[in-house]
Amino acid sequence: MKYMLLMAGLYFILCLVIVFVTSSVLHRHKVSDNKYDERQRFVQGRAFKCAFFCLLFYNLFSAVLVDVHWCDVPLGHSLGILISITLYASICILHDAYFYVGSRPRFYLIVFSLVGVVNLALGIMNFWDGDYVYTNGMLNYHSLNLFVGLSFVFILVVVVIKLRQNKRELAS
């Protein structure tokens, strides 16, 4: 238990450092909403609408399956939010609306990689201690790290695929 508290504390400190570094870099480069053009804003709005309806249908689906106890309530709601955020990010990335025009996504690739790897590591460590992740045969919120890690790795894969697609388009 002490080990898990130590890891949670280190994870919290790492998150604070990532937020601080990200905000200072963005502030230094003066990233604002004005750097997105009209097409990107339109795609972001469309992606937001898709993510909203995805969350709506996920909640309807989970309400219908209320008798199927596969996870606890906080994890179920968190997964719905995570799925919709992942959908939003993926749509924006695939339609060149996630990064502003002229930006280089290298910093974001590093952040996505770090967050994904740290969450995957924490999730795998939680699954090794099965009693910590399962409560009465259901997944509990301690397994959320694994799902967050998988989400960030998925977004990272989408970014890499889009970058390769852009390179192929420039080459031809």
Burial 67-100 (b: 16+ CB within 10 A, else e): eeeebbeebbbbbbebbbbbbbbbbbbbbebbbe
pTM of the model: 0.76
Does the structure show a pLDDT above 80 at 111? yes
Residue 165 CB neighbour total at 10 angstroms = 11
Q: Coil, strand or helix: which one is 155? A: helix
Residue ranges per domain, the chain?
2-171
Does the structure show a pLDDT above 60 at 55? yes
Q: Which of 31-35, 49-53, 69-73, 112-116 has the highest mean pLDDT?
A: 49-53
Does the structure show a pLDDT above 60 at 32? no
pLDDT score, position 31: 53
